[in-house]
Amino acid sequence: MAKKIYLSPERRPAPHGPYFGQPGCYEHDMTTRIAELTVDALTRCGFAAKLAQPAATLRQRVAEAILWGADYYLPIHTNASSATLQEGTARGPEVLAYGSPEGVSWRACQMTYEALMEIYPGKTDRGVRSNTTFYEINSTPMLSVYPELAFHDNAADAAWLVENKSAIAEALAGQGCRVLINCAHSPEKAAKVCSDLRRKGFSADTLLFDITDEAEVHRTIGGMAIDILVNNARQDPYKRPAGMSDGTWFNHLLNVNLTGAYLCAQAVKEGMKRRRWGRILNVSSVQAHIGMEERLLPYAVSKAGMHALTRCLALELGEFGITVNTLAPGMVETENIHNRLSDEEIEQLHSGAEGDDGE
C-alpha cells in the first residue's frame, strides 16, 4: 500500500494583502496551485495524495486526513512579516515543527527546509522552529510538517514564489526520502552518486560499513528510521582471487550476496514494524533461474537464495504493511562490463547466446 500524503494549502481567499509587487495574487491561489503540482509529483513517485477541498475548515481537513488514514499531513503556506501594505524585510523559507529536535517530526521538518533551501536563491537561516499552537500541527496524530515557503510581503520572495511554483512542488514532493548509499569499496564513486542526487534536489549521504559483519550492520543502521531498504550489494563472480579455495570462495559469495541482505533486513525490520510501513527490495539475477557454467555456480546459488529470503520476509512482515520483493535483472551495461568484456561478448549476452553476467 502506498504511503498517503494529505495536503492542506491556505484555505482563506485573502487572509493577507496580495503578494507584494504581484497585483491580484493571493496566498490561497498560490499555495493551492503549488499543492496541485505537488500532488502530481507525489503521484508520479507512487504515493497516494489527497488535496483538501478549498471550502473545508481546518477541523474538517484534519478529520478527513485521519479518516483517510493519512501517513503524512502537509499544510502549505507562505509567510508575512506584518499586516501592513509596506514591504517587509524578512525573507526565506522556514518550517514549523512539534516535538523535540531528536524526534522523527523534527528530522522531517529539517529535510523539508533543506529541500527548499536547495532552490531558494537568497540566504537565510530561519530554519526549523517549534510551534505547537497551530491547529493543523497540534491536532494531527500522523507526521505533520508545516512549511512557510517564503515571505510574500517581500518583493523578491513574492517573485520567487510566483516564478518557481513547479520547482517548489518538486522540492516538497522529493524531500521525504533521504538516500543513504553504502559501499565497502570505492567511496569516491558513492560520493559522486550522492553529489548527483543532491544536484537534483534530493538529500543523500554515504555510509561505509561491511554488510557481512553483523555487529557493524546493527551498529550502523540498527537505530535508523529506514523505510526503504534496497539490497543490491554483490561480489563480482569473475573476480575470484588466485589461490582461493572452492569453499572459501563459495562462502565469500554467500556472505556478500545473501547473508549481507539478510543482516540488513534484520537490522531495519523492527523499526518498520513499529511504523507499520516499509519496503524491502532484494536485487537478484536471472542467473538464479538458469543453469550456469562452473565458475558462476556460487553466484547463481547466492542469487537463488535471495528469492527464498524475499518470500520468507514477505510472509513475516506483510501484516505490518511492509512489502518485500525481488528484482532479477539480466545484463546491465556498467563500467565493469565494458572493462571485462569485448563489444562482441556483450552483444552475445544481449542476444541470449550465453547467460547474463549478473551485473
> Cell 543490491, residue?
232
Radius of gyration of the chain (CA): 25
Helical H segments across the chain, by residue range: 27-44, 58-68, 104-119, 135-138, 155-163, 165-174, 187-199, 214-221, 246-254, 260-275, 297-317, 335-340, 343-351
Cell of 153: 510581503
What does 99-130 look like in DSSP terms, one character per residue?
S-TTSHHHHHHHHHHHHHHHH--S-----EEE
Per-residue CA distances from 135 to 33, 96, 98 (Å)? 22, 12, 12
Active site annotation includes 299:
yes
Q: Which residue type sits at 130?
A: S
DSSP summary character for residue 273: H
Q: Choosing from 6, 19, 72, 299, which is the catalytic residue? A: 299
Kind and range of the H or E element at 283? strand 278-283
Q: How far apart are CA 326 and CA 311, in angstroms?
A: 9
- Tell the burial category of 290 from Cβ atoms under 10 Å away from its Cβ (0-12, 13-18, 19+): exposed
Where in the sequence numbering do the catalytic residues fall?
299
